[in-house]
Amino acid sequence: MQTKTNPLSTAIKKYFPIVCILMLLFAFWTGGCGSFSIFEAGVSPETDAAGTLTVHFIDVGQGDAIFIQAPENNILIDGGERNSGVADYLQNRGVTSLNLVLSTHPHNDHIGGLLAVLENIPVQEVIDPGVVHTTKTFEDYLTLIDTQDIKFTVGRAGLTRDLGEGLTMQVLHPADPSASNLNDASLVTKFTFGKVSFLFTGDAEEKSEALLLSSNYPLQSTILKVGHHGSSSSTSAPFLEAVNPVCAVIMVGADNRYEHPHAETLQTLAAAGVNVYRTDLQGTITITTDGETFHLEHEKNNP
């Protein structure tokens, strides 16, 4: 969907995925190598990946929607606002069923677009943090899970799933959520495929990050979905240091009223040397991996 290509933007587009791959290889070959060992405390083991995993960070404006196309499973994390077009995005790619839908927390910019998904695409199971919200959207969401007879699981830290062909999912948070702070009730999940891992944080804020840091969970991840659309209330420097990602994705709408992403967050990421991609600038961002290296593509070429 690019409208204009100039040599510089083409070079940037070509260059960044290579940088990501080189940095990843560098991390494995040098000091970072040991950090992927199963013997190191708090670091998840590599898995035996087979096939290809594709993760789509779908541009839904201000909101999250992440589609994980795994060898044996189709998984969706959040759906953006109502009418986000996520159901169409999936159907246009020939997705006829979803094995798993994770809704990180009940805010509209995460569950709104799930309504059309639950209505139109067969879903085997929904996992959410089990906190309630007093909105029509949340009520409709619960009604659909019920009427479509979808298996419902409350996600709690410690829940793990083997998703086949070397893909594993771990729920790292919440352990004890409160409906009084829905952002901090966000499901935080880590997906590991071979040597490549993804940390999906929903809108979890610093309080959740502090709990995660005090836990024994393996936070280090190759790719970080930045918490809460790049708000300064998330992505504390100690948390980012523990995750130590090669690339970070901020899911955010252009000119949003919260002024996300905040300058502090961008500075924290820049200071840590993380390559940052943003859906407001680059549109849908797609990462493909064989479990050894990964390749990143984006829809638009804005810097």
Q: Write down the least CB distance from residue 29 to Zn ion, Å.
A: 37
Question: Which C-beta is closer to Zn ion: that of 80 or that of 291?
Answer: 80
Pick the piece of the chain touching Zn ion (CB under 5 A) from 91-99, 137-145, 151-159, 197-205: 197-205
Q: Write down the least CB distance from residue 203 to Zn ion, Å.
A: 4
Q: Would you count residue 109 as binding Zn ion (CB under 5 A)?
A: yes
Pick the piece of the chain touching Zn ion (CB under 5 A) from 83-91, 109-117, 133-141, 215-223: 109-117
Q: Would you count residue 205 as binding Zn ion (CB under 5 A)?
A: no
Question: Which C-beta is closer to Zn ion: that of 60 or that of 285?
Answer: 60
Question: Which C-beta is closer to Zn ion: that of 56 or that of 110?
Answer: 110
Q: Write down the least CB distance from residue 107 to Zn ion, Å.
A: 5
Please classify residue 135 by burial: count the beta carbons closer than 10 Å to its beta carbon, then call 0-12 exposed, 13-18 middle and 19+ buried. Answer: middle
Q: Write down the least CB distance from residue 127 to Zn ion, Å.
A: 18
Question: Which C-beta is closer to Zn ion: that of 49 or that of 58?
Answer: 58
Pick the piece of the chain touching Zn ion (CB under 5 A) from 15-23, 94-102, 143-151, 201-209: 201-209
Q: How many chain residues bind Zn ion (CB under 5 A)? A: 2
For the chain, strand residue ranges (E) read: 53-57, 66-69, 74-77, 98-102, 123-128, 151-154, 160-162, 167-173, 188-193, 196-200, 223-225, 247-250, 275-278, 285-289, 294-298
Q: First-to-last CA distance in the chain?
A: 15
Question: Which C-beta is closer to Zn ion: that of 203 or that of 205?
Answer: 203
Pick the binder of Zn ion from 81, 128, 184, 203 (CB under 5 A): 203
Pick the piece of the chain touching Zn ion (CB under 5 A) from 115-123, 168-176, 198-206, 257-265: 198-206
Cα gap 8→286, rounded to integer Å = 21
Q: Write down the least CB distance from residue 150 to Zn ion, Å.
A: 23
Q: Would you count residue 184 as binding Zn ion (CB under 5 A)?
A: no
Rounded alpha-carbon distances, angstroms, from residue 124 to 130, 135, 145, 148, 151? 18, 24, 10, 10, 6
Question: Which C-beta is closer to Zn ion: that of 46 or that of 109?
Answer: 109
The sign of the dihedral angle between the CA atoms of 43, 295, 280, 103 is: negative
In the sheet where 151-154 sits, what is the strand order?
Answer: 151-154, 123-128, 98-102, 74-77, 66-69, 53-57, 285-289, 294-298
Question: Which C-beta is closer to Zn ion: that of 17 or that of 261?
Answer: 261
Q: CA-based diameter of the chain, in Å?
A: 53
| b/e per residue 266-293 (b: at least 16 CB within 10 A) | bebbeebebbbbbbbbbbbbbbbbbbeb
Token representation of residue 5: 């290509």
**Residues forming a β-bridge with 200:** 189, 225
Token representation of residue 155: 């996600």
What is the footprint of Zn ion within residues 147-176 (CB under 5 A)? none
Pick the piece of the chain touching Zn ion (CB under 5 A) from 105-113, 119-127, 129-137, 159-167: 105-113
Q: Write down the least CB distance from residue 229 to Zn ion, Å.
A: 6
Using CB under 5 A, list all residues that contact Zn ion.
109, 203
